Structure 1
Amino acid sequence: MTEVMSLRTPMFMKKILIVEDERKLARFMELELTHEGYTVDIVSDGQSALMKLMSKEYDVCLLDLMIPVIDGIEVTKRARAFTDIPIIMITARDGLEDKVKGFDIGADEYMTKPFEMEELLARLRALFRQKNDKSLEKVLTYKELTLNKETYEVTRGSDRKELTKKEFDLLSYLLENQGIVLTREKILNTVWGFDFEGETNVVDVYIRFLRAKIDDDYEEKLIQTVRGAGYTLR
């Protein structure tokens, strides 16, 4: 029993948003996913989905296309303006044109109803593996900024930057998630750890430290503040 729990423990930090107006299907998916160790929220319309995606951190969104208020296609279009969260479209539409359209507007996966739960779980595992592979890269780059995890060297163009360990960890996390808006809470939990008991403004303080070393001497600023949301590299 202990071994099973230890294998599933990492999944408890994975949060999934289900956007589905078929109550029985949504409930079935919720039960199966929570059994696998995921945390699940459910909404039944597109407007509620966008509000959830803007207000909370999720690791993946399971999105039905034929939902009320705002359909799944429009939800995906709008969501891609502020988040790179993986989106798995789940729909009864199985035509090639529908699938191509889904991928073109930003979906990561496309599943047709009815589907087997084991297939959905496998696709989720594959998505999370891809994300983990990014964090295992030894050299991270963004424009002229380069960070080497093995040598602890950071350069911008030809300029070498001397960072403290925590500054290095923070920059590494930003580079691993470039283009994604990271909330202060998410940065704090990842870089400082869930058991950190200091002030949450430590994130803002270290962002200022990083900017002083990475951005202040350059015309183009790489570390961006998204008002009311967090920080990102873009």
Structure 2
Amino acid sequence: MTNILIVDDDIHILNLVRIHLSEQGYQVFQAKDGMEALEILHKQSCHLAVVDVMMPFMDGFTLTKEIRTRYHIPVILLTAKNQIEDKEQGFDAGTDDYLVKPFEPKELSFRIRALLRRYDKQPENTVLRIGNTMINKKSYEVTIEDKTILLPLKEFELLYFLMANPIQVFTRDHLIEQIWGFDYEGDERTVDVHIKRLRERLLTYTNDFQIKTVRGVGYSLEAKRE
């Protein structure tokens, strides 16, 4: 399921968008300000964010910059103003699209679908690196300094997915969908077993990152801080 984050301090806008997008089959997460939005993104993988410009604590421009720095997801900015200066500031912040209030929910849906298609078509990096650890999806090799490690397929795919999405927290169900597929008939303990094996295999080779357990939620990969 595609997860959409809606950030707006207007509860009426939140409810309107949530109802409409839920009817379209999206899973909707809501935040009333930028700080709450970042907390959600830290715990939950989202595929797109719809962000209001005028909000308390952290405005939409600042939030967009934070999202662009930390996550590879499209952003649509909402604003009640229709001034070219606001649009320029929004695009400078890194937004992918811009929608002026009041808007038709259908138009928002069109723009969401277009952005999701565009991001899906972007080429996937085949080589990822964190510190001295490099993972190559073409050769299915993990290279740590001058050592090459061959992992079992699912462990490799799990490590690649986590390295491609550092800091984000993923539930066991989400990881099962990504690595094993929607039709997998096993249980979530499979994820725990594979995470445990990954940690054991990599422990003696690298401390470039940690696969952390987030109690009550799932797992997150975090790079070592310099």
TM-score normalised to structure 2 length: 0.69
Give 2:188's aligned residue: 200
Matched-pair contact (CA < 8 Å) for 1:161–1:214: no
Give 1:112 deviation, angstroms: 2.5
Give 2:157's aligned residue: 169
> Following TM superposition, where does structure 1 have runs of at least 4 consecutive aligned residues deviating by more than 6 angstroms?
none
Task: Pick from 199, 205, 223 the counterpart of residue 217 of structure 1.
Answer: 205
Give 1:147's aligned residue: 136
In 2 relative to 1, CA 119–223 (structure 1 residues): closer, same or farther, beyond 3 Å? farther
Matching of residues 114-125 of structure 1 within 5 Å = 114-115=102-103, 117=105, 119-125=107-113
In 2 relative to 1, CA 227–33 (structure 1 residues): closer, same or farther, beyond 3 Å? closer
Task: Pick from 80, 99, 109 the counterpart of residue 111 of structure 1.
Answer: 99
CA distance in 2, matches of 1:34, 1:125: 14
Bigger relative CO (Cα 8 Å, ≥ 6 apart): 2
CA distance in 2, matches of 1:31, 1:83: 28
In 2 relative to 1, CA 158–118 (structure 1 residues): closer, same or farther, beyond 3 Å? farther
Matched-pair contact (CA < 8 Å) for 1:82–1:181: no
Q: C-alpha root-mean-square deviation of aligned residues, in Å?
A: 3.8
Matched-pair contact (CA < 8 Å) for 2:48–2:116: no
Give 1:137's aligned residue: 124
Matching of residues 173-192 of structure 1 within 5 Å = 173-192=161-180
The letter for the 2-side match of 1:147 is: N
Give 1:24 deviation, angstroms: 5.3
Matched-pair contact (CA < 8 Å) for 1:76–1:106: no
Give 1:231's aligned residue: 220
Percent identity over the alignment?
33
Are positions 1:128 and 2:116 aligned together? yes
Are positions 1:90 and 2:78 aligned together? yes
Matched-pair contact (CA < 8 Å) for 2:8–2:14: yes
Give 1:91 deviation, angstroms: 0.9
The letter for the 1-side match of 2:147 is: D
TM-score normalised to structure 1 length: 0.68
CA distance in 2, matches of 1:130, 1:226: 32
In 2 relative to 1, CA 66–155 (structure 1 residues): closer, same or farther, beyond 3 Å? same
Give 1:138 deviation, angstroms: 6.9
SS at 2:5 equivalent? strand
In 2 relative to 1, CA 103–205 (structure 1 residues): closer, same or farther, beyond 3 Å? farther
SS at 2:143 equivalent? strand
Matched-pair contact (CA < 8 Å) for 2:41–2:168: no
Task: Name structure 1 gaps, 5 residues minimum.
Answer: 1-12
SS at 1:90 equivalent? strand
Matched-pair contact (CA < 8 Å) for 2:6–2:30: yes
CA distance in 2, matches of 1:75, 1:226: 29
Give 1:145 deviation, angstroms: 0.4
CA distance in 1, matches of 2:203, 2:96: 33
CA distance in 1, matches of 2:147, 2:180: 27
Matched-pair contact (CA < 8 Å) for 2:5–2:29: yes
In 2 relative to 1, CA 226–105 (structure 1 residues): closer, same or farther, beyond 3 Å? farther
